[in-house]
Amino acid sequence: MSEHEIPRQRAIPRRAWLATTTAVIAASVVKTRFDAVDLLAQEPPPADPTKVMGRLVSELGTRSPAEQPRRILRALEPSSSSRTPIAALHGIITPSDLHFERHHAGVPEIDPERYELLIHGMVERPMVFRLADLKRYPSVSRIHFLECSGNGGGAYNPNRIQTEVTPQQMDGLLSTSEWTGVPMATLLREVGVRPGATWVIAEGGDAALMNRSIPIEKAMDDALIAYGQNGEAIRPEQGYPARVFLPGWEGNTSVKWVRRLEVTDQPVMSREETSNYTDPLKGGIARQFSFVMDAKSVITFPTYPYALPDRGWWEIQGLAWTGRGRITRVEISTDRGQTWVPAAMQEPVLPLATVRFRYLWNWDGRETILMSRATDETGYVQPTVQQFVEARGQRTSYHSNHIRAWKIATTGEVTYGLGDVL
């Protein structure tokens, strides 16, 4: 063949060529949270795996040693809560062993063979259900988020605004799972709720005897007695052998290790719904029974402690959710909230579940503030911190769903930037 001859090559379908070209371009210009850190920390590649016999099968699978996500413990009370690494996960399902924890007297050890759930009070037929009894009823499986009402409580403190805080530290009391169990309504119909009943008191089997009052309307709607999570039995720290699960409502109402449901005509007015889990408002009053979690979004990349190594195209990523149904819109601001543009939402977009959003941003190297805001199907829009404080006051520790802000310095360093937009 002469130097002027062009060798004949196999024709490539146009669709395949476009897909390959697009992938190459995207890989070369779009940086993500994984590029910023993981590529810098790569070790020399291992020996060729095609030349070495791999591990044999095992009874229990494990993560790759290269993947080490961890919950973090609350510094002041490490025994009472742990937080999900929301910035390190993919999709919307939280692995069961990374689901956040919150409990009031430790995790009880309950023998499933001795477990019993008593339903009594204003009912025709008080009954005791063993775990095997619960599993005999037709089950349902639903994907829903669970969020502690204190999640993000440190996101705004008028006396001390932290800048070196991660999404996990700020909003890690949030997880999403597939929950399996029997509808509470099924059990209530089984025992026969008497006329005039308006509340159900759920009591846990832990040392705190944690209890909460549930309106009968919610109990007869979508409430579950859940015994399964992500295809397996609920884990002990999540309420094994069975728990209450109230989709879209603050996490403490989903009483774990549930041992008793009492049907009544009034709330129990326990410590957990009087001195705790209430919101002080202006004028010396308090907001009580604030069950529903309002629409909220959080950016998970770029966030502290990442530093963007260079200007150019970056993908802003995050999560949004609402206790009132579906998220219908997520918007991004890259200029301190002066303008807003729609972000793309990744399917599936489910009711009462987290949804992932993303937005391609061309960083020009200047200092700026990134923000996100969510809108749900009721028309509710995630508030600014000023709107949040105006409505709720500065002392509230619960339902902190105001817009978060992340400051990008000219060096590429990312810090929590709420103080820069107040």
Fold of 96-287: Sulfite Oxidase; Chain A, domain 2 (3.90.420)
* Statement: residue 5 has pLDDT above 70: no
Instruction: Round to whole Å and give the CA distance between 224 and 260.
Output: 14
Regarding the domain delimited by 296-420, which CATH topology (the fold level of the hierarchy) does it fall under? Answer: Immunoglobulin-like (2.60.40)
pLDDT of residue 28: 47
Count of C-beta atoms within a 10 Å radius of residue 292: 16
For residue 391, give both structure tokens. 């409505």
Q: Tell me phi and psi for residue 131, to 5 degrees.
A: -60, -40
E runs forming strands in 109-238 = 116-121, 127-130, 140-147, 174-183, 199-204, 211-215, 224-229, 232-233
Three-class secondary structure of residue 241 per DSSP: coil
Helices (H), 329-393: 385-392
85 vs 389: which has the higher pLDDT: 85
Res 40: pLDDT: 45
Amino acid symbol at 158: P
CA dihedral (179, 267, 282, 416) in degrees, to 10, reads: -20
Inter-CA distances, 163 with 382, 386, 404, 415, 420, Å: 22, 18, 12, 5, 10
The single residue listed with the structure tokens 């508030």 is 383
For 143-188, what is each residue's pLDDT tens digit? 999 999 999 987 776 666 789 999 999 999 999 999 999 999 999 9
What residues pair up with 144 in beta bridges, in sequence order? Answer: 177
What residues does each domain of the chain span? 96-287, 296-420
Residue 161: per-residue pLDDT: 72
Q: pLDDT confidence of 31, banded at 50, 70, 90? A: low
Does residue 4 register a pLDDT over 50?
Answer: no
Q: Which of 363, 387, 386, 397 minimizes the C-alpha distance to 36?
A: 363
- The per-residue pLDDT for 20 is 45
Kindly give the pairing relationship between strand 258-264 and strand 116-121: parallel
**Mean confidence (pLDDT) of the chain:** 89
> Is it true that 96-287 and 296-420 share their CATH fold?
no
pLDDT at 420: 81
pLDDT score for 396 = 77
The tens digit of pLDDT for each residue in 243-275 reads 999 999 999 999 999 999 999 999 999 998 988
Instruction: Report the alpha-carbon distance of residue 30 to residue 361 in Å, rounded.
Output: 9
Q: Measured in Å, how far apart are the chain's first and last C-alpha atoms?
A: 72
What's the Cα-to-Cα distance from 410 to each of 11, 99, 360, rounded to whole Å? 47, 35, 19
What percentage of the chain has pLDDT greater than the value 90? 75
Q: How many CB atoms lie within 10 A of CB 323?
A: 24
Confidence band of 418 (pLDDT split at 50, 70, 90)? confident
CA distance 221 to 120: 19
Across 121-135, 148-162, 217-231, least confident range: 148-162
Tell me which H or E stretch contains 22.
helix 14-29
